[in-house]
Structure 1
Amino acid sequence: MKIKHYFILLGILLIGCSNSNDPVRPSPVKDFISESIEASKPFPQALSFANCIKPNNLTQEQINADVQDYYNYWFKKYLRTSNGTTPGGGSYVSMKGTGGDGMEITTSEA
């Protein structure tokens, strides 16, 4: 009885695998955005979150200025203009192969 079941299963598998049609290949999809888009929530946000610690010795303007200064520093140090072969054609983050130098303010792990 078991042998009969094995032959039935083998027959089903062979019939399923003997499709003579060419395999359907998905059309290439762009995995990047090449057009510019507006930020849905532009800087600064200054949102309050429950159970979060916010410095009380700095004003919101000082915090915003510090964030902007660090972003400008990061932008000059790590962001490079594409040479035309980078997907998206815009800019890329220079990391020098160390696995994270320029990624500390991007959302790659969000």
Structure 2
Amino acid sequence: MPSIFTRIIDREVPADIVFEDDTCLAFRDIAPKAPTHILIIPKKEIESLDDLSEEDEDIVGRCVAVVAKVAAAEGLSNGYRMVVNCGEEGGQEVPHLHFHLLGGRKLDWPPG
């Protein structure tokens, strides 16, 4: 069964999309942990960081560049955080690689 993110890519599930190109999609998280909480996902189904292949390097690079592009578009000039959770103990809830863009307030450290 496709993940919720694949279903968003396929437009089977609605999302507040803020950016899209041929490689990735960015949309607002439905349970935000900061005033700005956007998820950037590759359109290719990659389960997690542990499942990357060499051919995925360009995809991941593009997703990271999109994080910066979306952060600028959202006005996060005072800073932001990019988070990638990997695996159950790492906090990954959806089995589709995704990058969290968090900002809009001072973020604490450590996060977990």
Compute the TM-score of the two structures, normalised by the length of structure 1.
Answer: 0.25
Which is higher, the Rg of structure 1 or of structure 2?
A: 1
| Larger strand proportion of the pair | 2
Compute the TM-score of the two structures, normalised by the length of structure 2.
Answer: 0.25
| Larger helix proportion of the pair | 1
